[in-house]
């Protein structure tokens, strides 16, 4: 019969388990609480992150993203898990120690007749120490090797996640700056269109201008106002995306400041491809995946080998009635599979196929990196030329507009031609702004496919600290 102490312990455990299970899960309440609390908590975290920073440059945005991005934090957790998995695998090299304690009580007491003696037993207690250690088990080494490569892969995945986060931040940062510049340009264009409409309206009132030409000026105002308002909505959306990538609430106000534009690499495309093959995280991951597949093949081979374990056991009875209360037991134990339905053989064959697949995966990744670098370099060349052409076209159009305005005031050009040219000049300015933005995106993309996206940013020192 189990003793009163053990019985009480079991009843206590059952009671705690029952009390724990009494509270049922209310999905709707959980969702309401999260919907109520999360936006407020995120807004507070955003306020703390942006406090006393002022307008943010590109590096400021990147630092905030690397600190608060949910994707980056998730990758870092996976990296810590991989580190723990490696430590768990290392534990296979260490002995395992187990302690067993047994306590029995008998009610009523058991009486034993031993010759002329009578012995009453009401309690039996035994304490056993047992240790086991693997002596010959090659699979342990290969398992540890796989876990170690897995830890390295997790670290590379974290770096790659950070690189992709930096790329997203860079694109959204320059997009927001371009939209801000576009908004300022459209605001100036709108003011110029309003001023021109007043002049044309006065001419129309004096009968010197037809009604449709005056209406054309009004339409230009409406079109510019629409473009300005649409640009502002796009700017709000772009900044919201930027804040979300940074792990902050998308509804927070944020001010940006211009920073030194990215400089594209000047090396020829052949050198850029080599750099990509040397540095891209996907290829570094592929190298370690091949090592894991090799270790899997070796592990499959060990399934044909015996496994030897050493053990030591020391049971100690706490009952004085037993003459020999403790003794050592030690020895070796081994296992070897003779036949298990060809599972070991097929597992070995499958491991070899997985190894070949990992080689092909690396070749595929290498080919993809080469193609991405080539495409990114060609795209950057195109947008560089496009930027130069767009800026030159805008400058020519602006000079032409200035000359046409002078001719219009002298009566040499009609109002319709002036309005058409102003619309063309406004469009050329927007195209020049977009071209500069695409050049920055092309530069950031090329650096990213080469694996050269910078992720190490130190917090700048602030003056005033003593």
**pLDDT reading at 211 higher than 70:** yes
Q: Which domains does the chain have, with CATH numbers?
A: 55-96+137-305+339-449 (1.20.1600.10)
Peptide bond into 215 cis (omega under 30): no
Is residue 78 very low, low, confident or very high in pLDDT (cuts 50, 70, 90)?
very high
**pLDDT reading at 322 higher than 80:** no
pLDDT of residue 2: 43
pLDDT of residue 209: 75
pLDDT of residue 10: 64
Is residue 465 very low, low, confident or very high in pLDDT (cuts 50, 70, 90)?
very low
For residue 37, give every residue at least 6 positions away whose Cβ sits within 8 Å of its Cβ, in sequence order, or none. none
Is residue 61 very low, low, confident or very high in pLDDT (cuts 50, 70, 90)?
very high
**pLDDT reading at 446 higher than 90:** yes
For the chain, percent of residues with pLDDT exceeding 90: 48
Q: Which of 50, 122, 37 minimizes the C-alpha distance to 319?
A: 122
Over range 32-56, report the average pLDDT: 90
Paired residues of 56 in beta bridges: 256
Q: List the strands of the sheet with 329-335, edge to edge.
A: 96-114, 117-136, 307-317, 329-335
Is residue 271 very low, low, confident or very high in pLDDT (cuts 50, 70, 90)?
very high
Task: Identify the three-state secondary structure at position 462.
Answer: coil
Query: How many other CB atoms are found less than 10 A from the CB of residue 323?
Result: 5
Handedness of CA 245, 247, 252, 256 (dihedral sign): negative
pLDDT of residue 134: 78
For the chain, percent of residues with pLDDT exceeding 70: 87
DSSP per-residue letters across 216-276: HHHHHHHHHHHHHHHHHHHHHHHHHHHHHHTTS-TTS---B---PPP----S-HHHHHHHH
Beta pairing, strands 117-136 & 307-317 = antiparallel
Q: Are 130 and 98 in contact (CB under 8 A)?
A: yes
pLDDT of residue 464: 42
Q: Tell me the pLDDT of the chain averaged across its residues.
A: 85
Higher pLDDT, 127 or 40: 40
**Locus of tokens 């209360």:** 325
How many helices and strands in the chain, by DSSP H and E? 10, 4
Cα atoms found within 13 Å of the Cα of residue 278, Cβ hemisphere only? 7
CA 101 to chain centre: 48
What are 362's two structure tokens? 């690396």
Query: How many other CB atoms are found less than 10 A from the CB of residue 105?
Result: 17
Q: Which of 173, 159, 189 minimizes the C-alpha distance to 66?
A: 159
Degrees, nearest 5: CA angle 342-347-353: 130
CA separation for the pair 182, 188 (Å, rounded)? 10
pTM of model > 0.85: no
Higher pLDDT, 344 or 22: 344
pLDDT of residue 466: 34
pLDDT of residue 108: 64
**Locus of tokens 């770096």:** 159
Which stretches of 310-342 are DSSP H helices? none
Cα atoms found within 13 Å of the Cα of residue 130, Cβ hemisphere only? 12
Range in 96-110, 320-334, 340-354 the model is least confident about: 320-334
CA separation for the pair 189, 184 (Å, rounded)? 9
**pLDDT reading at 226 higher than 90:** yes
Is residue 352 very low, low, confident or very high in pLDDT (cuts 50, 70, 90)?
very high
**pLDDT reading at 42 higher than 50:** yes
CA separation for the pair 28, 134 (Å, rounded)? 51
328 phi and psi angles, rounded to 5 deg: -95, 140
pLDDT of residue 417: 85
Higher pLDDT, 173 or 21: 173
Q: Are 105 and 122 in contact (CB under 8 A)?
A: yes
């Amino acid at each position: 019969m189990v003793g009163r102490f053990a019985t009480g312990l079991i009843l206590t455990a059952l009671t705690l388990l029952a009390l724990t299970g009494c509270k049922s899960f209310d999905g709707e309440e959980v969702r309401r609480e999260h919907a109520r609390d999360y936006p407020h908590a995120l807004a507070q975290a955003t306020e703390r992150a942006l406090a006393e920073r002022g307008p943010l440059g590109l590096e400021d945005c990147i630092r905030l993203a690397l600190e608060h991005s949910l994707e980056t934090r998730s990758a870092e957790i996976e990296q810590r898990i991989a580190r723990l998995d490696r430590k768990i695998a290392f534990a296979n090299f260490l002995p395992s120690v187990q302690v067993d304690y047994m306590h029995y009580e008998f009610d009523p007491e058991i009486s034993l007749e031993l010759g002329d003696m009578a012995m009453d037993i009401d309690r039996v207690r035994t304490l056993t120490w047992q240790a086991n250690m693997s002596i010959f088990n090659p699979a342990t080494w290969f398992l540890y090797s796989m876990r170690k490569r897995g830890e390295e892969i997790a670290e590379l995945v974290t770096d790659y996640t950070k690189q992709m986060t930096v790329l997203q931040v860079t694109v959204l940062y320059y997009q927001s700056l371009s939209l801000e510049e576009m908004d300022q340009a459209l605001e100036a264009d709108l003011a110029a269109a309003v001023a021109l409409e007043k002049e044309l309206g006065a001419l129309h009132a004096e009968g010197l201008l037809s009604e449709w030409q005056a209406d054309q000026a009004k339409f230009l105002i409406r079109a510019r106002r629409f473009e300005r308002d649409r640009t502002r909505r796009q700017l709000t959306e772009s900044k919201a995306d930027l804040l979300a990538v940074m792990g902050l609430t998308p509804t927070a106000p944020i001010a940006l400041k211009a920073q030194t534009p990215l400089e594209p690499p000047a090396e020829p495309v052949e050198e850029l491809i080599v750099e990509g093959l040397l540095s891209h995280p996907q290829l570094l991951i592929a190298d370690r995946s091949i090592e894991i597949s090799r270790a899997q093949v070796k592990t499959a081979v060990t399934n044909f080998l015996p496994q030897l374990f050493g053990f030591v056991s020391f049971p100690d009875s706490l009952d004085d009635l037993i003459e020999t209360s403790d003794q050592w037991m030690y020895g070796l134990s081994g296992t070897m599979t003779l036949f298990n339905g060809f599972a070991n053989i097929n597992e070995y064959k499958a491991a070899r196929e997985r190894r070949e697949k990992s080689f092909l995966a690396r070749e595929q990744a290498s080919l993809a990196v080469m193609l991405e670098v080539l495409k990114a370099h060609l795209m950057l060349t195109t947008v560089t030329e496009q930027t130069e052409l767009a800026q030159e076209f805008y400058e020519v159009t602006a000079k032409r507009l200035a000359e046409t305005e002078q001719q219009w005031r002298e009566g040499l050009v009609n109002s319709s031609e002036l309005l058409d040219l102003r619309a063309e000049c406004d469009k050329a300015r927007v195209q020049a702004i977009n071209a500069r933005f695409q050049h920055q995106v092309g530069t950031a993309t090329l650096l990213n496919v080469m694996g050269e996206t910078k992720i190490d940013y130190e917090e700048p020192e602030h003056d005033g600290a003593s």
